[in-house]
Structure 1
Amino acid sequence: MTTDPYDGRLTRAVRLRTDGQTEEARELLLCLRAEFPDDAVVAYQTAWVHDVLDLEAEAVPHYRAAIAGDLPEADLRDALLGLGSTLRALGRDTEAGEVFAQALARFPDDRPLRVFRAMLRYNTGDARAAVADLLRLLTETTADPDIQGYGRAITTYAEDLDRSWLR
């Protein structure tokens, strides 16, 4: 029998957040962070609630603590995406790029990570790479038969959007 070191408080905080009671969730999570400062899952949940509350700058150290800890794989992927997205929203593009590079090295086929990296690429003036990334994702994920019919052409164009091969 496993005991819950949080006495149900972490579960309650997550439920509060998902039920839209984010301020209450934040208060409870901050108490848990003080009590369990090295707990990666508590740090991750604390980061998440700060993001939901549009307190991105306050979310960053919690994301970093979570990523440095021992998170389950799915939570690690989400924490990396959350940190990269948060840094992008804060205009800290170089740091965001480093996080997305780390995340995609670990999770190379993760589509949401690829979408968020494309948004960062656009923000940093690399619209060509952003569009190419999104075109590749479109051809990989669409169920639209009309787009599927042009999948090879779209993928080819994604490789060279300037059509230098036509000249």
Structure 2
Amino acid sequence: MNDNWRDRVAAIWSHADSLADGDVVNAIDELVAERDADDAEALFEAAGARDYAGREAEAEPLYRRALESGLDATRRPQAVIQLASTLRNLGRIDESIAMLERQLHEHPDDEWTGPSAAFLALALASRGDSTQAVSVALMALADYLPIYSRSIRSYAAELVAD
């Protein structure tokens, strides 16, 4: 049942751009209703749908419940990033930054490093720390450069050196 449910969720997301925001929320909610009220994966999908629709205030508690309900290791980092982004959009920038810094500490060198750093850079810029934001973004970007990685890391560190 999980695979079929996940396939149906993925199908909604695959054509979400062609749907009205409210239709995405409604379609996801129909699938969420098939699961238990405390199902972490379903809560995550409900939060994501609201986030997608620009309903961040509704998304935040759902993300928190998903994380508290034991969201699996595959989705947990994504939920943390999405919650942190939601918090930034709600004006709770320091909380967003703290979450993303913890996330980077927990995932210093995996597939979540780049996305976490990107959202941390956005949160830092929102707080007015543009130089630190650029440094974080450049550090993350350095991993993807075919050459100059060492130089970019060094220059990025210099930006925030005392």
| TM-score category (smaller protein) | 0.7 to 0.9
TM-score (ref. length: structure 1): 0.78
Shift of the alpha carbon at 1:81?
A: 0.7
Query: Is the CA contact 1:26–1:50 (under 8 Å) kept in the aligned structure 2?
Result: no
Alignment partner, residue 26 of structure 2? 24
Cα distance between partner residues in 2 of 1:101 and 1:151 = 22
Cα distance between partner residues in 1 of 2:137 and 2:14 = 30
Query: Is the CA contact 2:25–2:46 (under 8 Å) kept in the aligned structure 1?
Result: no
Query: Is the CA contact 2:47–2:62 (under 8 Å) kept in the aligned structure 1?
Result: yes
Alignment partner, residue 159 of structure 1? 157
Q: What's the secondary structure of 2:54's corresponding residue?
A: coil
Cα distance between partner residues in 1 of 2:66 and 2:97 = 18
Cα distance between partner residues in 2 of 1:157 and 1:139 = 11
Q: Over alpha carbons, which structure has the higher Rg?
A: 1
% identical equivalent positions: 30
Q: Could you list the per-position Cα deviations for residues 121-159 of structure 1 after superposition, in whole angstroms to 9, with x for gaps in the alignment?
A: 11112112111111222221123xxxx2x4333222211
Query: Is the CA contact 1:118–1:131 (under 8 Å) kept in the aligned structure 2?
Result: yes
Alignment partner, residue 133 of structure 1? 136
Query: Is the CA contact 1:29–1:45 (under 8 Å) kept in the aligned structure 2?
Result: no
Answer with 130-139 or 22-31: which moved more: 22-31
Do residues 121 (structure 1) and 117 (structure 2) align?
no
After superposition, the Cα gap between the structure-2 partners of 1:52 and 1:101, relative to the gap in structure 1 and judged at 3 Å, is same
Shift of the alpha carbon at 1:67?
A: 0.9
TM-score (ref. length: structure 2): 0.80
Query: Is the CA contact 1:40–1:70 (under 8 Å) kept in the aligned structure 2?
Result: yes
**Which letter does structure 2 place at the counterpart of 1:99?**
M
After superposition, the Cα gap between the structure-2 partners of 1:29 and 1:161, relative to the gap in structure 1 and judged at 3 Å, is same
Alignment partner, residue 112 of structure 1? 115
Query: Is the CA contact 1:93–1:120 (under 8 Å) kept in the aligned structure 2?
Result: yes
Q: What's the secondary structure of 2:37's corresponding residue?
A: coil
Shift of the alpha carbon at 1:58?
A: 0.9
RMSD: 2.5
Q: Could you list the per-position Cα deviations for residues 106-125 of structure 1 after superposition, in whole angstroms to 9, with x for gaps in the alignment?
A: 22221110111111111112
Query: Is the CA contact 1:14–1:25 (under 8 Å) kept in the aligned structure 2?
Result: no
Matches within 5 A, 1:75-90: 75-90=75-90
After superposition, the Cα gap between the structure-2 partners of 1:132 and 1:9, relative to the gap in structure 1 and judged at 3 Å, is closer
